[in-house]
Amino acid sequence: MLFDLDGTITDPAPGIIGSVIHALETLGAKPPAFEALHWTIGPPLRASFRRLLGGEERVEQALDIYRSRYRDGAMFEATLYAGISEAIAALNSQGYSLVLATSKPHVFARPILSHFSLDHHFAAIHGAELDGRHDDKGELIGHILATERIDPSRALMIGDRAYDVKGAARHGIATIGALWGHGGQAELREAGAVALCRQPEHLCEVIAAQFPFANPSSKMPTSEGGFRR
| CATH classification of the domain holding 211 | 3.40.50.1000
- Give yes or no: residues 157 and 221 share one domain: yes
User: 61 with 47, same domain?
Assistant: yes
| Cβ–Cβ under 8 Å, residues 165 and 171 | no
CA distances from 70 to 15, 66, 211 (A): 7, 6, 37
Distances (CA, A) of 158 to 20, 100, 155, 210: 25, 10, 10, 13
| Catalytic residue flag (residue 4) | yes
pLDDT digits (tens, 9 = 90+) for 108-165: 999 999 999 999 999 999 999 999 899 899 999 999 999 999 999 999 999 999 999 9
Helix (H, G, I), strand (E, B) or coil at 65: helix
Residues 112, 211 within the same domain = yes
pLDDT (mean) for 193-217: 83
* 59 and 112 fall within a common domain: no
The predicted model scores a pTM of: 0.88
Averaged over 96-107, what is the pLDDT? 96
Count of Cβ atoms closer than 10 Å to residue 72 Cβ? 9
On whether both 119 and 137 belong to a single domain, the answer is yes
Distance CA 95, CA 124 (A): 15
What amino acid occupies position 51? R
Instruction: State residue 184 phi and psi, 5-degree precision.
Output: 90, 160
Task: Name the β-bridge partners of 3.
Answer: 100, 158
Report the domain count for the chain. 2
CATH number at residue 27: 1.10.150.240
- For residue 182, give the nearest of 162, 196, 203 by alpha carbon: 162
Owning domain of residue 21: 13-76
Could you count the other beta carbons within 10 Å of the beta carbon of residue 76?
Answer: 15
- Same domain assignment for residues 139 and 197: yes
DSSP code for 180? T
* pLDDT band of 42, cuts 50, 70, 90: confident
Confidence of residue 221 (pLDDT cuts 50, 70, 90): very low
